[in-house]
Amino acid sequence: MTFQTHTGNRGLVLEEKLIFEQGEAGRSGVDLPDPAPVKSRLGGLARDENSEIGLPGLSEPQVVRHFTRLSQKNFGIDSGFFPLGSCTMKHNPRLNEKVARLPGIADLHPMQPESTVQGALELMDQCAHWLLVLTGMPAVAMSPASGAQGELCGMMAIRAALDARGENRRRVLVPESAHGTNPATAAACGFTVDSIPATADGRVDLAAFEAKLGDDVAGIMLTNPNTCGLFERDVRKIADLVHAAGGYFYCDGANFNAIVGRVRPADLGVDAMHINLHKTFSTPHGGGGPGSGPVVFSEALAPFAPIPYVVKTENGFHLVETADEQDGKKPFGRLKGFHGQMGMFVRALSYMKSHGADGLRQASGDAVLNANYLLARLKTKLSVAYPGYCMHEALFDDDFLKGTGVSTLDLAKAIIDEGFHPMTMYFPLVVHGALLIEPTETETKESIDQFCDAVLSLVAKAEAGDSEFFKNAPYLTPRRRLDETAAARKPVLRWSPANA
Amino acid sequence: MRYLPLTQADRASMLETIGAGSVDDLYCDVPEGALLKEPVDLPHHLGEMQVERDMAKLAAKNMGTASAPSFLGAGAYRHHVPATVDYIIQRGEFLTAYTPYQPEIAQGTLQYLFEFQTQVASITNMDVANASMWDGATSCAEAVLMACRATRRKKAVLSGGLHPHYREVTETYCQYSDTQVAGRDGHPEHQATADELDDLIDDQTACVVVQYPDVFGRLDDHTKLAEACHAKGALLVVVFTEAVAFGAIKSPGSFGADIVCGEGQSIGNALGYGGPYVGLFATTSKLVRQMPGRLCGETVDQDGKRGFVLTLSTREQHIRREKATSNICTNSGLCSLAFTVHMSLLGEDGYRKLAAINHERAVKTADALEGVAGVEVVNDSFFNEFTVKLSKPAAEVVEALVARGIMGGVPLSRLYPNRDDLGAFMLVAATETNTDEDIAALAAALKEVLA
């Protein structure tokens, strides 16, 4: 039954104005003491008392209600099944949130004397140790802020190593299925990007790759398992070939969650690999960050790792913060203020300790099992992109929608109405109308079954010719399809009294 | 294992549906010998109680700023974070959401990002702000790269008053993109003025980067510098590390800055030993399409209702690949939410009052320290942080203060390990968290240590 309510609210779906539209001068959500009068030492730069900054005044209950209502317009892992491929939306344990807030962790200042932060340095060292054992690699840089910055870290180390060799190699080979950050990162390090085509089974075309090698090749950026959710079965040959040609092997470790505890990147010939702690080790995605992207290095690249880094000495743990410390290393520089995403190291270590070596192995196995189960169930109706087993995610193209008038996007929007977060759409770019589905290991068989049943019923509906239904989905969400073209054509990026 | 729901019966029935004999069979593409048959050499799984105990032991080996009078700053500041902030950011709908790619079910994230952008633009007095960066230092580096794109020039001039970490990150980002970084060394006793940087600005200069307040805590009016930049076709980038300051001091936008960026940790975010923090990034309407990072914009849905989406994504890596404005993918989502909630609680009056209290605490601290023999306050001007010159090496004084249960400041030798001329200087920051007793304790302990 549809009818208009007086308020615009619809039961639990509550409309919420911007804070700027509900504030009142003189209101505040904090009680602060009046400062004692002192002689200003602002050097004549005090702001004009009468000019407004433009911040609205709200009481604490107003603020709590505002953000609670906003939260209710969001879908998270806690809300339901979230099979967003290549993003690894697995359960975020609350224990990790709790330990990150412990006194002695949350209240540490990054510039405290070393003598007062031995536990923090030990924690970073422990987190690093787990990453090194799990990857089999000899060194790790903990400071990168995210996966994308981890890529930057790895590629800068390659640049530094080439410079140290006195070689002017500038071409980087990147498979066309790669995530957009790969070419963007290579470009940011002054490399040119040369695309490698894929074979019909979704892997690097080895012959094409070999043909592109030469003495101007700095290396390859290869995601493994790749963005099609497949293990690159020629990975060792690729590593050997690039090494023989004098280049390095950067592995995008975004999909390490599929193999953690079962395959060590060191055994595949990797020189550098970033690890998204927010994927494999379940630090929260938080609506788009903060992430954390430590990078493991081979012996060849280890000396070039950035500052800062932790070393163990006879007097305890020491944080090396300057490139000039005489320890034989040649850091390429510094990527971040202070020491990295400590709050994420705490959560990741808590997650790793909780799972242990046995549990991590079980987690990757269950992730792959869940994905293959979903693949087996859906391939009865959906068109698989590539034959064979998948790793942690299943990839379909839009061939099964041909002639229905329904697109991948339309299907995804209808899935929203069924109460799921949709799969990743239109990525990787090499697959037409791609649907990339990653169930993760923390989902039950029942939730995967329910999702598959819902998708299969929607496909049947599409085949029955009801494309109008799909074009207008979703119907049941706080907002329906949004006009992205209008948003980009005339950008409104902030509230102002003029456009109120 | 408590996070893994599959039972052995589930696994068996799923394998049967798949038509595989075992999970190992699913890894058939892994090269011979690389598939491990046993768990790696690390401890096995632990219950929640044991993990918490392990982590608490590590935490207990540290001396937290909550347990001692602390006057540490240098780019990270201890402020009171209202209980509401942590409650909101731990709501699962925020904590466990992804980047808002499906706007119909992510209006919560998108609306607060729009509010965040408005707040950041308001306090910096700029036209627009993005949905956040990783931290202040990376924001600074990205600002320089943006200025180079916008001006099609390849030289940046960095003020000596810029935080050394910001300088190092900027140099690191620039070193492989043929961008020249020029500038002079800073010194707390010699103020970098517009005149001093003036002769470094030429018609190849993309931007000048100054910090306000600068790393030594000093305040300077950069209006003339903005004019000097613009006269040469260069941009002025104003960087900050203390976002509370703009409640008390003139805004960078009022100087005529083209890009204003810095660290937002002070509002809503814990010290957390240096991260995660939140980079703030604002600019003029004219330069918006050169901006790095995610942007949220207003639009309408198909029923005509107002809603929000990520926009101008043609600047970004997932569309532009090697031609993108930056390789940045995520922002600091949850940290920007903490900022937004705290700023919403403060409001106009609270934000200004918080800034006034910070200044008052710092003035009181400076007054108290000026009375200690062997301490000289160097700054003529400051907001909530200033530099002192000590009669003994600052690094040793800091250790001696720690032995007395006080974290007195950051020795400049920590930030400038190669500068012998800065060994006597220490940065002292005071915020609303420092009581009169803290200030008295610091003065008394310094008196003892310097005697």
In this predicted model, what pLDDT tens digit does every residue of A131-172 receive, in sequence order? 999 999 999 999 999 999 999 999 999 999 999 999 999 999
Domain CATH number, residue B442? 3.90.1150.10
**Same domain as A331, residue A219:** yes
Q: How close A289 comes to chain B (CA, Å)?
A: 4
Give the tokens for residue A295. 């990078």
**Same domain as B335, residue B272:** yes
Query: B-chain residues within 8 Å CB-CB of A495?
Result: 114-115, 118
On whether residue A1 sits in a domain, the answer given is: no
CB of B275 less than 8 A from some CB of A? yes
**Same domain as B278, residue B337:** yes
User: Which structural domain range is residue B281 located in?
Assistant: 83-342
Query: A-chain residues within 8 Å CB-CB of B319?
Result: 180
CB of B364 less than 8 A from some CB of A? yes
**Same domain as B130, residue B75:** no
**Same domain as B76, residue B170:** no
On whether residue B293 sits in a domain, the answer given is: yes
Q: Which of A322, A351, A380 is the last residue of a domain?
A: A351
Nearest to B72 among A109, A268, A370 (CB): A109
Cβ of B302 within 8 Å of Cβ of A472? The answer is yes
Give residue A500's pLDDT.
Answer: 59
Whether B227 and B198 have beta carbons less than 8 Å apart is answered as no
On whether residue B257 sits in a domain, the answer given is: yes
**Same domain as A384, residue A302:** no
On whether residue B116 sits in a domain, the answer given is: yes
Element (H, E) at A354: helix A342-378
Query: A-chain residues within 8 Å CB-CB of B123?
Result: 53, 55
**Same domain as B200, residue B312:** yes
Q: Which of A445, A136, A217 has its CA nearest to residue B33?
A: A136
Amino acid code (one letter) for A455:
V
Whether the CA torsion B268, B273, B279, B280 is positive or negative: it is positive
On whether residue A138 sits in a domain, the answer given is: yes
**Same domain as A375, residue A345:** no
**Same domain as B228, residue B103:** yes
Give residue A497's pLDDT.
Answer: 84
Amino acid code (one letter) for B178:
D
Query: What's the Cα-to-Cα distance from B26 to each of A377, B19, B278, rounded to whole Å?
Result: 16, 10, 41
Which positions 124-163 of B are in contact with A (Cβ < 8 Å)? 125, 127-129, 131-132, 134-138, 163
Q: Which of A391, A374, A383, A376 has its CA nearest to residue A230?
A: A391
Give residue A454's pLDDT.
Answer: 98
Give residue B367's pLDDT.
Answer: 98
Give residue B282's pLDDT.
Answer: 98
Low-confidence residues of chain B: pLDDT under 50: none
On whether residue B370 sits in a domain, the answer given is: yes
Residue A212: count of CB within 10 angstroms of its CB: 17
Cβ of B121 within 8 Å of Cβ of A494? The answer is yes
Q: CA–CA separation, A461 vs A459, rounded Å?
A: 5
Give residue B321's pLDDT.
Answer: 75
Nearest to B344 among A29, A100, A122 (CB): A29
Give residue B383's pLDDT.
Answer: 98
Give the tokens for residue A46. 């005090």
| pTM of the full structure | 0.97
On whether residue A102 sits in a domain, the answer given is: yes
CB of B435 less than 8 A from some CB of A? no
3-state secondary structure A390-423: CCCCEEECCHHHCCCCCCHHHHHHHHHHCCCCCC
Question: Is ipTM > 0.95 here?
Answer: yes
Our CA dihedral for B41, B46, B50, B53, rounded to 10 degrees, sits at 50
Q: Which chain B residue is nearest to residue A325, measuring alpha carbons?
A: B417
Q: How close A19 comes to chain B (CA, Å)?
A: 7
On whether residue B61 sits in a domain, the answer given is: no
Cβ of A20 within 8 Å of Cβ of B118? The answer is yes
**Same domain as A388, residue A338:** no
Q: Is A237 exposed, middle or buried (0-12, 13-18, 19+ CB in 10 A)?
A: middle
**Same domain as A391, residue A311:** no
Give residue B75's pLDDT.
Answer: 98
Nearest to A120 among B54, B62, B359 (CB): B62
Q: Which of B80, B116, B102 has its CA nearest to residue B335?
A: B116
Domain CATH number, residue A171? 3.40.640.10
What is the total count of domains within chain A?
2
**Same domain as A203, residue A111:** yes
DSSP state letter for B281: E
Our CA dihedral for A452, A454, A457, A462, rounded to 10 degrees, sits at -100
Q: Which of A411, A393, A414 has its CA nearest to residue A477?
A: A414
On whether residue B207 sits in a domain, the answer given is: yes
On whether residue A44 sits in a domain, the answer given is: no
Whether A60 and A422 have beta carbons less than 8 Å apart is answered as no
**Same domain as B228, residue B351:** no
**Same domain as B175, residue B143:** yes
**Same domain as B337, residue B420:** no
The β-bridge partners of B156 are B181, B207
Domain CATH number, residue A393? 3.90.1150.10
Q: Which residue has the tokens 């990757």?
A: A364
Residue A385: count of CB within 10 angstroms of its CB: 25
**Same domain as A267, residue A147:** yes
Q: Which of B286, B320, B342 is the last residue of a domain?
A: B342
Low-confidence residues of chain A: pLDDT under 70: 1, 326, 499-500
Q: Which residues are within 8 A (CB) of A45 and not within 5 positions of it... i.e. 6 or more apart?
A: B219, B220, B221, B249, B250, B381
Give residue A75's pLDDT.
Answer: 98
What is the total count of domains within chain B?
2
Give residue B416's pLDDT.
Answer: 96
Substitution target from A10, A20, A71 for chain B, most B beta carbons within 10 A: A71
**Same domain as A328, residue A213:** yes
On whether residue A28 sits in a domain, the answer given is: no
**Same domain as B412, residue B274:** no
CB of B352 less than 8 A from some CB of A? yes
On whether residue B175 sits in a domain, the answer given is: yes
**Same domain as A341, residue A202:** yes
Cα angle A472-A475-A476, degrees, rounded to a multiple of 5: 165
Q: Which of B183, B166, B252 has its CA nearest to residue B213?
A: B252
The β-bridge partners of B155 are B180, B205
Amino acid code (one letter) for B400:
A
Query: B-chain residues within 8 Å CB-CB of A70?
Result: 107-108, 111-112
**Same domain as A372, residue A337:** no
Query: A-chain residues within 8 Å CB-CB of B321?
Result: 180, 183-184, 193
CB of B168 less than 8 A from some CB of A? yes
Whether B131 and B113 have beta carbons less than 8 Å apart is answered as yes
Q: CA–CA separation, A253 vs A295, rounded Å?
A: 9
| CB pairs A-B closer than 8 Å | 722
Which positions 17-36 of B are in contact with A (Cβ < 8 Å)? 17-20, 23, 25-31, 33-36
Nearest to A133 among B42, B273, B379 (CB): B42
Cβ of A181 within 8 Å of Cβ of B173? The answer is no
On whether residue A443 sits in a domain, the answer given is: yes
**Same domain as B401, residue B322:** no
Q: Which of B342, B367, B399 is the last residue of a domain?
A: B342
Q: For residue range A32-85, list pLDDT tens digits in order.
A: 999 999 999 999 999 998 899 999 999 999 999 999 999 999 999 999 999 999
Give the tokens for residue B399. 């250790």
Peptide bond before residue B213 is cis, with ω within 30 degrees of 0: yes
On whether residue B194 sits in a domain, the answer given is: yes
The β-bridge partners of B298 are B308
**Same domain as A375, residue A261:** no
Whether B310 and B282 have beta carbons less than 8 Å apart is answered as no
Domain CATH number, residue B253? 3.40.640.10
Q: For residue range A178-225, list pLDDT tens digits in order.
A: 998 999 999 999 999 999 999 999 999 999 999 999 999 999 999 999
Q: Which chain B residue is nearest to residue A376, measuring alpha carbons?
A: B18
**Same domain as A438, residue A346:** no
On whether residue A247 sits in a domain, the answer given is: yes
Cβ of A494 within 8 Å of Cβ of B354? The answer is no
Burial track A42-81 (b if 16+ CB lie within 10 A, e otherwise): bbebebeeeeebbbbbbbbebbbebbbbbbbbbbbbbbeb
**Same domain as B138, residue B284:** yes
Q: Which of B311, B342, B373 is the last residue of a domain?
A: B342
Burial track A311-342 (b if 16+ CB lie within 10 A, e otherwise): eeeeeebebebebeeeeebebbbbbbbbbbbb
Amino acid code (one letter) for A159:
R
On whether residue A291 sits in a domain, the answer given is: yes
User: Which structural domain range is residue A409 located in?
Assistant: 358-480
